[in-house]
Amino acid sequence: MKKFINDPFNLVDEMLDGFLAVHKKKIRKLEDVRSIARTDAPVAGKVGIVSGGGSGHKPAFIGFCGEGMLDAVAVGEIFTSPPPLACYEAVKAANGGKGVLILLGNYAGDVMNFQMSADLSAADGIEVEQVILTDDVASAPKGQENRRRGVSGAFLCWKVAGAKAAAGGSLAECKEVVERVNANTRTIGVALSPCTVPAKGSPTFVLADDEMEYGVGHHGEPGTERIKMMSLDDTVQKMMNEILVDLPFTKGDNVAVVINGLGSTPQIELYAAFRKVKSILDTEKINIENAYVGEFFTGLEMAGFSITLSKLDPEIKSLLDAPASTPCYTC
């Protein structure tokens, strides 16, 4: 394992120290727990938006804590759910008296620990709702969407939820719009090489020189197929074939596209992938309204990328375009 680290068990704290020092104008650490909040949280009279999960996915989750996106984030160890108390304090920090919406990936530990935080918060009299994000088509078949993992489509959900809350939306309205985004969002990922969790010290999977892991999760979860290397265009075509029929996306739809690097894929390849996505959507007469290319939800240094398509309506489009100011995303 070649990494720039000290003790692997201190890495998350050392990262967080650095992160807080760089972004001190926008975020602060909560006392006694490993959670953060925007400096001005709770914002009185605004629905609080909370997320969290394991570390190693940066810029997710903490990079999107700030005005117009997440109010507070609970920070776990690498690829490990944050403890219930960290989730609970994040909810309390985000509570401006109008309720708190928790957005989380569909991972057992996150679901359990955030449920406990919701129960504790409810006992405090805080109104809490949750939306479990499920955009990864590779993780369960159509018809079993609620078993799917939440992956890079989460970026769109955080953006929309934060904007809806900033615009004065009620807790029910914020929840409804995120459910609408999630229901209309589909993602699939592919990897060329694994990542290594520092505390474990060995790769999450092993691929031959001519193999790709198709349908990979962003912790390195096995995909649906181990396939031979293909050209970029053939890879994108295969991914798009799967995403397009799943919703389905059809002629005349307006969509947002996210091309998300999983860690070590150069931007030059991500933009080339976007070119092929656009070419396919042009042929299908599906209109790209918003496009995001870069790293949003990584898996440490995994080489790979995911494609997310999200069907837009005018409200969702305007919420995506609303201002945000966070450490890793400003618009």
Catalytic residues, by residue number, are: 57, 219
End-to-end CA distance of the chain: 37
Q: How far is the CB of 301 from its own copies (least distance, A)?
A: 5
Q: How far is the CB of 54 from its own copies (least distance, A)?
A: 11
Residue (55 or 113) nearer to its own copies, CB: 55
Write out the residues near its own copies by the rule CB under 8 A.
2-6, 11-12, 14-19, 21-22, 55-56, 58-59, 63, 78, 192-193, 209, 229, 231-233, 235, 263-276, 278, 288, 291-294, 298, 300-301, 303, 305, 328, 330-331
CA-nearest of 101, 122, 97 to 45 is: 97
* Backbone φ and ψ of 132, nearest 5°: -95, 120
Q: How far is the CB of 25 from its own copies (least distance, A)?
A: 11
Element (H, E) at 78: strand 72-78
Residue (30 or 102) nearer to its own copies, CB: 30
Residue (142 or 271) nearer to its own copies, CB: 271
Alpha-carbon gap, residue 331 to 318, rounded angstroms: 12
Cβ neighbours of residue 183 closer than 8 Å, sequence gap 6 or more? none
Q: How far is the CB of 55 from its own copies (least distance, A)?
A: 6
Q: How far is the CB of 144 from its own copies (least distance, A)?
A: 29
For strands 100-105 and 128-133, give the pairing: parallel
Task: Annotate 89-128 with three-state secondary structure.
Answer: HHHHHHCCCCCEEEEEECCHHHHHHHHHHHHHHHHCCCCE
> Reading across the β-sheet that carries 72-78, which strands appear in turn?
27-29, 35-38, 72-78, 48-55, 100-105, 128-133
Residue (224 or 290) nearer to its own copies, CB: 290
Residue (232 or 245) nearer to its own copies, CB: 232
Residue (16 or 183) nearer to its own copies, CB: 16
Alpha-carbon gap, residue 269 to 293, rounded angstroms: 10
Rg (CA), the chain: 19
Q: How far is the CB of 198 from its own copies (least distance, A)?
A: 9
> Cα 159 to chain center, whole Å?
10
Alpha-carbon gap, residue 124 to 97, rounded angstroms: 12
CA-nearest of 293, 150, 310 to 243 is: 310
